């Protein structure tokens, strides 16, 4: 990645020309082509270039591409229409103009147009020297620079999914919130959701069911706390496998040791995972908490110790059991922190009741 520099680009194009090769010069928009045409005429007059874009008549476009393939031109100046389907072994230099306007998958496809022979290939992703990059554009450029090994396509797709979000599989939204849970945890949640919709939830395994926890607060590992994307994804994956509260506590201690004091978002995330651990022990399938209290739904409308639950309910005026087996608890929890603490304590008590029955049995 480099700011647009006339001298650097001239040297890159001339180096390719002198070794008998060809170059791609790719623009994000047709409107950018005249500017680059003028740059080539003024700064690289020694080379011959042709122009290709999607608004050209099919016959003319075909003639231009065939002429470039036959070596009649040194540079193909085009839009991103060249990102797939081209195999020109003599073309081993790529310059992408205004790279911040391209998507991550486009970067990968464009870079694949060169390096298709034994010659060493060079790719230059240029940006405007005056304009500032957006946060997502900077991430995309950092990712494409870091993926320089064979078979990096899946890694790139994972990065792209994390940057853009997964979208809504059942709606028309094109971006989602996968960054809040990470790729692997999202895939696990997706498997469970699909199995549930198919009526075959048991196919995912009894040990893999995951309670739904709705507290009304942000739960994630912020980029500012753990800047490296791969590290964040690995942390999400590990956290998704926590089976006990001790696992969560040990994970929290490791985070603090490696990255410093935990921000509120991370504290909330760890609390939610601890609540999930307790919910699995208690057989609680869903938790919906708000400022006025919480509702708990039991997995398959069953509870390990019905008698103990009835005793628990009868001893409290703020708790009642609905006919649909949903447990309703009234409380005053105006802040997320109060809801997390209150729900954790409540589910812990119910888990103790369920466990007591299991031990007695």
Q: Which pLDDT does position 25 carry in this prediction?
A: 96
pLDDT at 231 over 80: yes
Give residue 149's pLDDT band: very low, low, confident or very high (50, 70, 90): very low
Mean of the per-residue pLDDT values for the chain? Answer: 83
CB 319 within 8 A of CB 327: yes
Contact 36, 160 (CB under 8 A): no
Mean pLDDT score, 33-37: 95
Model pLDDT for residues 238-254, shown as the tens digit of each residue: 888 888 989 999 999 99
Give me the residue label for tokens 């990065």. 159
pLDDT of residue 31: 93
Higher local confidence (pLDDT), 222 or 169: 222
| Residue 157: closest CA among 143, 170, 177 | 143
Q: Which residue has the higher pLDDT, 120 or 180?
A: 120
Residue with tokens 């709705």: 214
Kindly give, in sequence order, each residue whose CB lies less than 8 Å from that of residue 298, ignoring residues fewer than 6 positions away: 283, 284, 285, 325, 327
Which tens digits make up the pLDDT trace of 321-335? 888 889 999 999 999
Radius of gyration of the chain from its Cα atoms, rounded to whole angstroms: 29
| Other beta carbons within 10 Å of 10 | 17
Chain centroid to Cα 175, Å, comes to: 10
Q: How many CB atoms lie within 10 A of CB 99?
A: 26
Q: What is the mean pLDDT of residues 21-27?
A: 95
* Helix 229-240 / helix 183-198 crossing angle, nearest 10 deg: 40
Please provide the size of the chain in residues: 361
Compute φ and ψ for 298, nearest 5 degrees.
-90, 145
**Average pLDDT over every residue of 222-233:** 87
pLDDT at 170 over 80: no
Contacts of 326 (CB under 8 A, 6+ apart): 295, 296, 297
Asked whether 64 and 56 are in contact (CB, 8 A), the reply is: yes
Q: What is the pLDDT of residue 69?
A: 92
- Which pTM does this prediction carry? 0.47
Q: Which domains does the chain have, with CATH numbers?
A: 2-163 (3.40.50.300), 165-207 (no CATH), 211-360 (3.90.1150.50)
pLDDT band for 262, please (50, 70, 90 cuts).
Answer: very high
CB 210 within 8 A of CB 188: yes
Q: Which helix (H) or strand (E) holds 233?
A: helix 229-240
The CA-to-CA distance between both ends of the chain, in Å, stands at 66
For residue 230, pLDDT over 60 is answered with: yes
**Comparison of pLDDT for 80 and 200, the residue scoring more:** 80
How far, in whole angstroms, is CA 117 from its chain's centroid?
Answer: 33
Contact criterion met (CB below 8 Å) for 350 and 282: yes
CB atoms under 10 Å from CB of 92, counted, come to 23
Q: Tell how strand 75-78 and strand 49-52 pair up.
A: parallel
* 49 bridge partner residues: 75
Q: Which two tokens stand for residue 187?
A: 């895939």
User: How far is residue 60's CA from residue 58's CA, in Å, rounded to a whole number?
Assistant: 6
Q: Is the pLDDT of residue 225 over 50?
A: yes
pLDDT digit string (tens) for 271-318?
A: 999 999 999 999 999 999 999 999 999 998 889 899 999 999 988 889
**Who wins on pLDDT, 196 or 24?**
24
3-state secondary structure at position 306: helix
Question: What pLDDT, on the 0 to 100 scale, is given for residue 184?
Answer: 53
- pLDDT at residue 162 is higher than 70: no
pLDDT digits (tens, 9 = 90+) for 342-354: 999 999 999 999 9
């Amino acid at each position: 990645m480099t700011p647009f520099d006339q001298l650097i680009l001239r040297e890159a194009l001339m180096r390719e020309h002198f070794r008998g090769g060809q170059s791609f010069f790719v623009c994000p928009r047709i409107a950018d082509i005249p500017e680059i045409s003028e740059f080539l005429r003024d700064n690289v007059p020694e080379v011959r270039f042709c122009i290709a874009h999607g608004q050209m008549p099919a016959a003319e476009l075909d003639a231009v591409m065939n002429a470039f393939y036959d070596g009649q031109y040194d540079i193909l100046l085009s839009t991103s229409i060249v990102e797939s389907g081209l195999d020109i072994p003599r073309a081993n230099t790529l310059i992408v103009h205004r790279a911040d306007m391209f998507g991550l998958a486009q970067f990968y496809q464009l870079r694949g147009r060169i390096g298709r022979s034994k010659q060493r290939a060079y790719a230059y992703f240029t940006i405007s020297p005056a304009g500032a990059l957006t946060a997502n554009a900077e991430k995309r450029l950092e990712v494409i620079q870091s993926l320089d090994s064979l078979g990096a396509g899946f890694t790139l797709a994972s990065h792209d999914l994390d940057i853009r979000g997964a979208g809504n599989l059942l709606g028309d939204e094109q971006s989602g919130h996968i960054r809040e849970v990470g790729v692997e945890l999202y895939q696990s949640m997706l498997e469970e959701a699909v199995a549930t919709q198919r009526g075959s939830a048991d196919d995912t395994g009894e040990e893999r069911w995951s309670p739904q926890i709705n507290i009304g607060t942000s739960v994630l590992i912020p980029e500012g706390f753990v800047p490296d994307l791969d590290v964040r994804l690995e942390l999400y994956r590990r956290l998704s496998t926590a089976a006990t509260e001790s696992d969560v506590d040990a994970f929290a201690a490791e985070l603090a040791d490696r990255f410093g004091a935990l921000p509120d978002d991370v504290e909330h995330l760890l609390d939610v995972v601890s609540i999930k651990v307790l919910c699995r022990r208690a057989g609680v399938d869903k938790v919906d908490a708000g400022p006025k209290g919480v509702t708990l739904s039991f997995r398959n409308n069953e509870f390990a110790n019905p008698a103990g639950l009835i005793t628990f309910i009868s001893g409290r005026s703020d708790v009642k059991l609905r006919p649909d087996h949903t447990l309703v608890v009234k409380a005053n929890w105006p802040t997320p922190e109060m809801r997390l603490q209150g729900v954790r304590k409540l589910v812990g008590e119910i888990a103790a009741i369920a466990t007591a029955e299991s031990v007695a049995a």
